Amino acid sequence: MNQFWENEYIQIAAYYSVVILCIIVFLAVFELVTKYKNWEEIKRGNVAVAMATGGKIFGVANIFRHTIEEHTSLVSMVGWGIYGFFLLLVGYFIFEFLTPKFHIDEEIQNDNRAVGMISMIISVGLSYVIGAGIS
């Protein structure tokens, strides 16, 4: 059975499956903390929400990229990925806190693409910093 789990194709499939599951769970968490419904807004054509959500997906995937490169066990990879997601979530709250003149969620819900773009860039940028820390 060890030979089965040591197969490179099986390992890639395992990492892929676990990361997809984690992305789904993490997007559900983001859905809970934002004041808008991501997928309903995207269905309505809200580009700002699509950019912010895309940045979150890319950010989480990038964090997991670093965890896969650095950690050899699936459990360790998931643990560091959860920690990285937590840091990304903290970054989201800091972004909201540092913009007291307007509310990020309201602007994104109103399809303010400038705010959606900045939100996307922050998620992507922080994921590189988090990933470097994990590596």
The residue among 72, 82, 76 whose CA lies nearest residue 130 is 82
The residue among 116, 100, 24, 97 whose CA lies nearest residue 124 is 116
Within a 10 A sphere around the Cβ of 81, how many other Cβ atoms? Answer: 25
Q: Domain spans of the chain?
A: 2-134
User: Which residue type is seen at 21?
Assistant: L
Per residue in 59-82, pLDDT tens?
Answer: 999 999 999 998 778 899 999 999
For residue 96, the model assigns a pLDDT of 85
For residue 1, the model assigns a pLDDT of 63
For residue 71, the model assigns a pLDDT of 78
* Low pLDDT (below 70) residues in the chain: 1, 5
For residue 22, the model assigns a pLDDT of 95
Kindly give, in sequence order, each residue whose CB lies less than 8 Å from that of residue 100, ignoring residues fewer than 6 positions away: none
For residue 99, the model assigns a pLDDT of 87
pTM recorded for the entire structure: 0.89
